[in-house]
Each structure stands twice: as C-alpha cells, then as structure tokens.
Amino acid sequence: MIKVLFFASLREQLGCDAVDVAADQLGSVAELRSSLATKGEAWHVALSNEQLQVAVNQELCDMQAAISDGDEVAFFPPVTGG
Amino acid sequence: MIKVLFFASLREQLGCDAVDVAADQLGSVAELRSSLATKGEAWHVALSNEQLQVAVNQELCDMQAAISDGDEVAFFPPVTGG
Amino acid sequence: MAVDISISVQAEGFDPGAEYNRLRSDNYSDGATAMFVGNVRDFYVADSEEGAAQKKSVSVLELEHYPGMAESALAGIAREAAERWPLGRIRVIHRFGPLAAGDEIVFVGTTSAHRQASLDACAFIMDFLKSRAPFWKKEVGVGDDGKTQSSWVEARSSDESALKKW
Amino acid sequence: MAVDISISVQAEGFDPGAEYNRLRSDNYSDGATAMFVGNVRDFYVADSEEGAAQKKSVSVLELEHYPGMAESALAGIAREAAERWPLGRIRVIHRFGPLAAGDEIVFVGTTSAHRQASLDACAFIMDFLKSRAPFWKKEVGVGDDGKTQSSWVEARSSDESALKKW
C-alpha cells in the first residue's frame, strides 16, 4: 500500500486528508496522480493544478519520482509558512 | 578658537584628549593637522598616521574639509565599534 | 565543532527574549547573534459577497502543517546553513494552529563569531523556510453578515525567486 | 508614515528581550522583526613579554566613544536605512565603558511588513555602524606577571569592504 496525504486547499477541495492506494502498477508519482484523478470530477480538477507540489517519504520531489510499496506520498499547494 | 579632540590610540599617543587652537590662518583640516604636528616629536609621528580619520562638527570629513572659528574638529584612528 | 541545531514545531507560543538568552547561554565564542521573528499582521481579507470595498479584519490565522515533514524540512534547511557558514547555534521555531494578530509565528536565531555569517544564515533559513517547509496559512475573518469567511494565503513568486541569490 | 527611530548610546546594559517587546508593542502592521546583537567574546591577547605562545584571557573590553557624534552617526545611519527600505521601527543601542565577556555591546532591531527589508536594513545598519560610528575597542587582560596589558583592536579591512555591497 501507498499512504497518500493531502494538505491545505487541496485537502479541502477533495474533502479528504488521506487515502491508501494499492501500490500495484504505480511506478511514479505521476502515475499515482493520474490514478487518483479518476476518482471523480473534484479529484480530476484538484489534481490538475499545475502548481501542486509533492513529497515522497517527507522529502520534496518532482512528479517523476519513483514510488514503491510502503511509501508515504503527500500532495499539497505551494507552501506559505513563515 | 577651534576645539580639537583626540580619541582612542591617538589620544594615548599624544597624552592629550583636547586642545584649543587659534583659528587664524587655518583654512582646512590639513592645515590644522600640519600645525599640530609641529608641537613635538610625538605629535609629528602620531599625526602622520595615514589611517587617521577626521570629523568636523561631529561629521566625518576628508582632510581637505574647510574649517573656521568655532568649529569642533576630532582626529581618531579607524573606528572599531559594534 | 558541530553546530548546535534545535528545531521546534509547536502549537504553543514562544518568547523571543528567552530564545535569545538560550542562544547566548555559556556561549562566549560567538560574538554575533542574528534573529528574525515573524508575527501575524492585522491584515484584511476581501468580503467575497461585497467585493474589495468591504474588507474585514482578520480575526484568526490558521496554520496547517505536515507533521513530521515540517520538522525534517526545517532541520534540513538548518543543516544546509551550518554547512555554508561558520555558525555556533541555530534555533528555529515554527508554530501551527490558530493564531491571533500580533502572535509570533516563526523564530530563527543564529550565532557566529562573524556578524555577516549570522545575518546571512538567518536570512537564508527564512528564505528556504518560506518556500520549502510544509506550512500553509489560512486567513479567517468575519463578514458584515456575521458569517465566518476564510481564504488560503497565496504563495508569492517573490518567495521562490528569493532563493536564487543563495 | 514616518519611521520610528530610537537611538541610545549608554554605559548601562540592555535586555534584547525587552527591546523585542518594545519593537512589537502595538505594532500590528509589521509582520517582520530582524535583530542583531553583538556580545563581548572570550578572546585572547598576546602577552607582549612572552610572545604568542603565552596568550592571556581578556578580562575587560574598554569601549571608548565620541559623545554627541556617536549618537548622531547612529541616527544618520538609521535615517539612511529608513530611506532605503519600508521600515516601521528602528532601534539601535550601543554601549560604552568597561564590558566583560558575554556582555551585550550593540543591538540593532528593525521592523517591516517585508521580511527581506527588515533583514537587509538590520545588516546595513550593522555594516555602517562598524565603519562609521565613532567607537573604539581596547582589550584589557592580565599577564603571567600579574601586570595589566591592553591593546587597541585594529580595524579590519573586511569591515570597510562590507560597505560596497550597499
């Protein structure tokens, strides 16, 4: 399983803060994102946001990053702390 | 009269923290400095220091700055505060 | 000598004066201490019903964070600073949860034997924190109709471009 | 809106935490506060009789200043910073007289709506203070023979060259 987390405005758009996804056939963040986008119109729209950032196992990555079973993947909008 | 002040290592070298000098014929800081240098060997040596800085009426100036009766002129080594 | 790095991600407030005292405690080798504190401004959000002319004071700032990654991102930024500058101590605090106007949000403190190193490292940590640490701000206010309004703060491109100078 | 500038040249100590609180008091428009504190380091001077191998701990730092000009030089530097950056408040404190290891020497604090402005202005004020404000440091220590030894701190060319970036 891959644990997927959503934060901030993305979390609100999806009405969901986390899902578990079977790791089968998901080799990269981009593939995971495409797969999640099929869960419904809200998911398709929210995950199409060009500005979305991703972290794999709590490290910022790009969308081509490889993922595998047991990973924690987080999607979120650009950060605004500080 | 021109009030002349000396600070820090210069003050110690001269053994003097202030002198009053008649303003007659002293048109610039450079002329004042030359005049003071005639007060003795210690004065000649100390005032020859190329790094000396000068303030006229508490504003940093260069040695060509004009001076006139009533001015306060201070000579000192490079500052080391902060 | 290893740099002493301390990171806190917390809901509780903090006291910049106490943080200064801790940075200085038994620290006689570093003559320079640079600090930055970020506070909640008394800003305004547009009332979505009435338009920009009807701005309302923001009563609360909600800070969301990614637990675990927030700490490790801040620690990574601090370690990067410790590699670039001769620092003695680095202290970073970032709060999450609801905050009111005037409240402290973030503290960055650095000590060094060199003034420029402490100031540059402090600015560097703030710049990277702004664009790389997983925190998100939401402004919450109350409109004329008494209803709660909220909006997520937009990231600014100036924050991303601030990284280029390092 | 005029920038609130406060300058103190004093023999007494100061409390950076209290200075922070004053910079923030009723200040809801500036979300950014940058501060720099300079402290006396526990440094060493060469024993003039025995050579570099016999270094002695400095027990006191004597800070001489030019009364009147010290205040006006610091105020001039603060005004220059206020013209360059959008600042709310500027606080500068510089001590004179005898100081011991660990003692605070100088405080610079700036507030702004913009983090970079507060940090840049704080660094700018420190850089100009180092090369333009009339203060002189003398290190005073005690040698093996029990005699007091002292030496004036030499100005560093790096301080003068630090001004070029502004």
Domains and CATH numbers, chain A: 2-76 (3.10.20.30)
Would you place residue D45 in the very low, low, confident or very high pLDDT band (cuts 50, 70, 90)? very low
What is the pLDDT of chain C when averaged over all its residues?
Answer: 90
What is the pLDDT of chain D when averaged over all its residues?
Answer: 90
pLDDT at C46: 43
pLDDT at D58: 59
Q: Is the pLDDT of residue D79 over 50?
A: yes
Would you place residue D55 in the very low, low, confident or very high pLDDT band (cuts 50, 70, 90)? low
Chain A residues with CB under 8 Å of C92 CB are none
Would you place residue C145 in the very low, low, confident or very high pLDDT band (cuts 50, 70, 90)? confident
Q: How many CB atoms lie within 10 A of CB C51?
A: 9
Interval C109-138 mean pLDDT? 97
Domains and CATH numbers, chain D: 4-61+70-143 (3.90.1170.40)
Q: pLDDT digit string (tens) for D110-151? A: 999 999 999 999 999 999 999 999 999 999 887 778 788 899
Identify the residue with better confidence: A44 or D42. Answer: A44
Chain A residues with CB under 8 Å of C106 CB are 81-82
Contact A55 C131 (CB under 8 A): no
Q: Is the pLDDT of residue C52 over 60?
A: no
Would you place residue D50 in the very low, low, confident or very high pLDDT band (cuts 50, 70, 90)? very low
Option in D73, D94, D136 nearest B80 (CB):
D136
Q: What is the reported pTM?
A: 0.93
Which chain C residue's Cα is nearest to A12? C152
Bridge-based pairing state of the strands C44-47 and C51-65 = antiparallel
ipTM: 0.93
Closest-CA residue to D123 (of D66, D163, D83, D67)? D163
Strand partners, D6: D91
> Which of C52-61, C117-126, D25-34 has the weakest average pLDDT?
C52-61
Which chain A residue's Cα is nearest to C160? A78
pLDDT at C43: 62
Q: Is the pLDDT of residue B20 over 60?
A: yes
The backbone torsions φ and ψ at residue D121, rounded to the nearest 5 degrees and listed phi first, read -65, -40
Q: Is the pLDDT of residue D52 over 70?
A: no
Q: Do chains D and C touch (3 or more CB pairs under 8 A)?
A: yes
Which chains pack against D, by 3+ Cβ pairs within 8 A?
A: B, C
Would you place residue C47 in the very low, low, confident or very high pLDDT band (cuts 50, 70, 90)? very low
Contact A81 C65 (CB under 8 A): yes
The answer to whether residue A82 neighbours chain C at the CB level (below 8 Å) is yes
